[in-house]
Amino acid sequence: MEYRRLGKSGLQISALSLGSWLTFGKQIGNNTADELMSIAYDNGVNFFDNAEIYARGRSEIVMGEILKKKNWDRDSYIISSKVFFGYLGKDARPTQKGLHRKHVVEACEQALKRLQLDYLDLYFCHRPDKQTPIEETVWTMHNLIQQGKILYWGTSEWSAQEIMEAHMVAQRYSLIGPTMEQPQYNMLERNKVEVEYAQIYKTVGLGTTIWSPLATGVLTGKYNDSFPGDTRLSILGMEWLKDAALAEANLSRARKLTTFAKELGVSLPVLAIAWCLKNEHVSTVILGASKSAQLQENFKALELKELLTADVMEKIENILGNKPILSQY
């Protein structure tokens, strides 16, 4: 395993990590979740990603049970949770969601209880909250760090401007600002990581824990010509994700990439994950898996560094044809 600094912090995070969205407490059984965490940990993964909303809190309960059973040294792994949507999702009352002090503090307590932990290593604001001043959230996160309930805090899908506002507040009052952002990043979704945050990697040393490296499975090639029935996109209620993911522009790129990966002698998921790892601004690529074999396969991405030469990267760029433009000004 390779370890990278989480932005400008000194925290060493594994370049590949494991997430639990849609899988833990929902799509897969607890034994499979246990197997996935063991495979990950044994391969050097030290970061497991979670959120209050995942399976309405059940994902944290499942992960907490597994951690308790494994009894791995607490200082050998990093656990996250995220606050914003509330664990009740669309049934949450106004005080049970958002980034105001009340919910952030209560959600942290609830996550710790579900995970059976004394502290969270990383705590993310899952989305920006237009109803709460950023100043209130920054103070709350800083205080949680002072209380030892969280170690680092960050954002997810915030704009560069919102992240900078949080840093300005932190600087004004000598508080601890956000260390990392969790954006979507993959061959099909590039703008935030490659363009929008370009400046703030330099100015505030932003770290990134990127999600959906396989574009929710499209970049495995398995949807190229048919619709397999045993995937997340066939789960009832996931129609919104299916419609967005299986847009023709995505499938057409996936088909061409499948052929190219074959020429290189690798599988498309392995190539797609290695492509994410190639970006030096990515601190960790959060993997998702519903089966152990998928996770085992995806770890091969770590061995692909030499294969992704400038020439290969250019060929991929030509296939994708979606390179975001970085303004010169």
Q: Token match 């994902």: residue?
A: 59
- Within positions 24 to 43, which residues make up the interface with ligand NDP, using CB under 6 A? none
**Among residues 56 and 232, whose Cβ is nearest to ligand NDP?**
232
Closest approach, Cβ 174 to ligand NDP, in A, equals: 28
Q: Of 142, 192, 232, 253, which one interacts with ligand NDP (CB under 6 A)?
A: 232
Q: Does 20 bind ligand NDP (CB under 6 A)?
A: yes
- Catalytic residue (one of 3, 41, 54, 223): 54
Structure tokens at 176: 């601890």
Q: Of 288, 301, 304, 316, which one interacts with ligand NDP (CB under 6 A)?
A: 288
Rounded CA gap, 90 and 85, in Å?
Answer: 8
Q: Does 156 bind ligand NDP (CB under 6 A)?
A: yes
Q: Of 81, 212, 283, 284, which one interacts with ligand NDP (CB under 6 A)?
A: 212
Q: What beta strand segments (E) does the chain contain?
A: 3-5, 12-14, 16-19, 47-49, 78-83, 120-125, 150-155, 180-181, 207-210, 284-287
Q: Of 7, 11, 14, 23, which one interacts with ligand NDP (CB under 6 A)?
A: 23
Rounded CA gap, 201 and 208, in Å?
Answer: 9
Q: Does 13 bind ligand NDP (CB under 6 A)?
A: no
Closest approach, Cβ 20 to ligand NDP, in A, equals: 5
Structure tokens at 260: 């190219």
- Closest by CA to 183, choosing from 205, 208, 206, 207, is 208
DSSP, res 90: G
Could you give the maximum distance between any two Cα atoms of the chain, in Å?
Answer: 56
Question: To which H or E segment does residue 231 belong?
Answer: none
- Closest by CA to 281, choosing from 2, 75, 4, is 4
Closest approach, Cβ 148 to ligand NDP, in A, equals: 24
Q: Does 14 bind ligand NDP (CB under 6 A)?
A: no
54 classed as catalytic: yes
Q: Does 231 bind ligand NDP (CB under 6 A)?
A: yes
Pairing of strands 3-5, 12-14: antiparallel
Count of H helices and E strands in the chain? 12, 10
**Among residues 110 and 216, whose Cβ is nearest to ligand NDP?**
216
Interface with ligand NDP (CB under 6 A): 19-21, 23, 49, 156-157, 182, 211-217, 220, 222, 231-232, 269, 286-290, 294, 297-298
